[in-house]
Amino acid sequence: MKSLQTTGCVVFFTGLIVSICAAAKLPVDGATYPSTWGVFLAFTALSVTGLALWRWKPHQPQDTVSGTASGLRPQIDIQATLSGLIQQADSILQQQPFASLETIDTLLQAHVLPLGEARQQILDQLGLKDGAELLVTMAYGERMYNRTWSALADGHLDEAHQVFHDGTEAFREAARNLA
């Protein structure tokens, strides 16, 4: 790709210089055009070809251009994933003792991470305004679950229980907004 652009640049400038030189010759007395008009036209065409080669970029699929590989990701049922997350969160809230790091990790990996990876799908399905509201609500819930994990790791069970409850309520609100 780089060599094609380099070649195009060289061809462009070569064609440009020769075209300018050919156009600079004055016609002989009584003639309308100089005798180098054919050279001028040929190298002008060569210069345009060089410019096209220099600036040409191959077409890429939209997914690669935007930086996501959503074509490689499977589509998920957002409502079902949110419902499963809320059910698992309710069962975690009722556990005594509250929860373990592994339980929170499992919840994050099984439900929250797929929702985070489906951001573009959410925006495509709901539109920018409604999708953005849903994503902000879910981001708050995810943040609360991450704080839960940190509080559990530090041994602060009361804080972990409270922020887990806040995160679950955020995902409940997201499910209500989605319905």
State the pLDDT at residue 63: 52
In this structure, what token pair is assigned to residue 121? 């799908």
State the pLDDT at residue 35: 87
Q: What percent of the chain lies above the pLDDT cut of 70?
A: 91
| Contact indicator for 160, 151 with CB cutoff of 8 Å | yes
User: Over the stretch 143-157, which tens digit does the pLDDT of each residue have?
Assistant: 999 999 999 999 999
- Which residue has 């972990």 as its token pair? 160
Q: What is the CB neighbour count within 10 angstroms for residue 4?
A: 13
For the chain, which residues make up each domain, given as ranges?
2-58, 78-178
User: Over the stretch 98-122, which tens digit does the pLDDT of each residue have?
Assistant: 778 899 999 999 999 998 888 899 8
In this structure, what token pair is assigned to residue 58? 């191959």
| Contact indicator for 101, 153 with CB cutoff of 8 Å | yes
